[in-house]
Amino acid sequence: MLVEVGAELYKSYCASCHGVVARGGGPAAPALITPPTDLTRIAAQNGGVFPESSVVKAIDGRFDLPAHGSREMPVWGIALAEEIPYFAAGDEVARGRIASLVEYLKSLQEP
């Protein structure tokens, strides 16, 4: 299932900063200037609606505007494709991985 794939990816790539239970404060968090977001409260902070497409964009990172300032989170749209040698295929893999991560994050939302 997509959610389970997302959970595995989350442990490998995200927990270091966002924490095992996704509330922020992972082991790498103290080294950052911006505290990693509490990912269980994304819907709660958006009037109870999980803003799927903006979460996809935030994770991907390739479409961030310079106005958003310096980004401490890796650009996952590139990082999750890195080991795939053929660019177009890498892009597809990164999209699929981001989609499963978003499904996982959706399942973690708390009121």
End-to-end CA distance of the chain: 24
Closest approach of ligand HEC to the CB of residue 67, in Å: 13
Q: Interface mask (CB under 6 A) for ligand HEC, residues 60-99, using x and -?
A: -----------xxxx-x-----------------------
DSSP single-letter state for residue 66: G
Q: Contact with ligand HEC (CB under 6 A): which of 5, 13, 41, 52?
A: 13
Site for ligand HEC contains 16 (CB under 6 A): yes
Site for ligand HEC contains 32 (CB under 6 A): yes
Secondary structure (H, E, C), 53-109: HHHHHHHHCCCCCHHHCCCCCCCHHHHCCCCCCCHHHHHHHHHHHHHHHHHHHHHCC
What type of residue is 94?
A
Site residues, ligand HEC (CB under 6 A): 13-14, 16-18, 28, 32, 34, 36-37, 39, 55, 58-59, 71-74, 76, 101
